[in-house]
Structure formats: C-alpha cells, structure tokens
Amino acid sequence: MNEEESKSIMYVQTHGVDEPTKSATPFFLAAAAAAMDIEAAIYFTMDGATLLKKGVAEGVNIKRGEGGESLRFFMDQAQELGVKFYVCQPSLDLHGLSMDDLVDGVEMIGGAAFNSMALDADLVITF
C-alpha cells in the first residue's frame, strides 16, 4: 500500500445513539484506514455528536459473531491508531451539548473549516 501512504480520508458520521446499527462503521473503517497509513478523521455532525457524549459509547453494543463489543471499543481503537475526531459546532447546539460533555480528544470546527478540510481530503465518505 505504499502508494497510499500520503492519502487522507475524512469520514462523516451523521447517525447518533438512536441508530446503533449505524454507529460503529465509521470508527471501524477509519481505524482500518489508519492501520493502512492513511490519514483518517471523523467529522461528527447532525445526530453524530450524540455518540461523543461521555458515557454513551459504553452503553451501545455492536454485535459481532456470537457476542459483541461496546461502541467504546471501536472508538478507542480508532483514537489509538491516530484517527482525529472533529465535531460540528451547530450539531452540539442541536442536541444541547457543550464541549465539556464530550469524550476527550475531540476538536470543534465550523462549517467553513469543514468545507476546506473536506476539499483537501483525497476522499470524503459520509455515513
């Protein structure tokens, strides 16, 4: 995968805690990308911000084979592999959240900054 060493992917997560079957994929794919030496980030907007609230991911079970993992497992794995987390400022308002309510390691950005980052990425995949 040498030719992809300098590539970047921005994943966008629009789904929140009320759609658990749509919660884990961006973390999973971003972690896979980071493991491939692709620069990976997740931008949480719309309902996505609700997944970042402290204590929430621990309570979401993602089925795998007979058992499962909590969403927190996928979130930690992504962050440990270097995936950056960004949250959309208006989506915090939408859900009555402030930055203090969120897990560590999240950066808040506005719409213009998101558009610039998205144009600069090699690929944007919105979920």
Report the candidate in 112, 110, 126 with the shortest Cα–Cα distance to residue 30. Answer: 126
Residue with smaller CB distance to its own copies, 36 or 106: 36
Q: What are phi and psi of 69, to 5 degrees?
A: -135, 155
Residue with smaller CB distance to its own copies, 52 or 104: 52
CB of 126 to its own copies, least distance (A): 5
| Binding positions for its own copies, 19-78, rule CB under 8 A | 21-22, 24-25, 28-29, 31-33, 35-36, 38, 45-47, 62-65
Q: How far apart are CA 36 and CA 1, in angstroms?
A: 7
93 interacts with its own copies by CB under 8 A: yes
Residue with smaller CB distance to its own copies, 54 or 63: 63
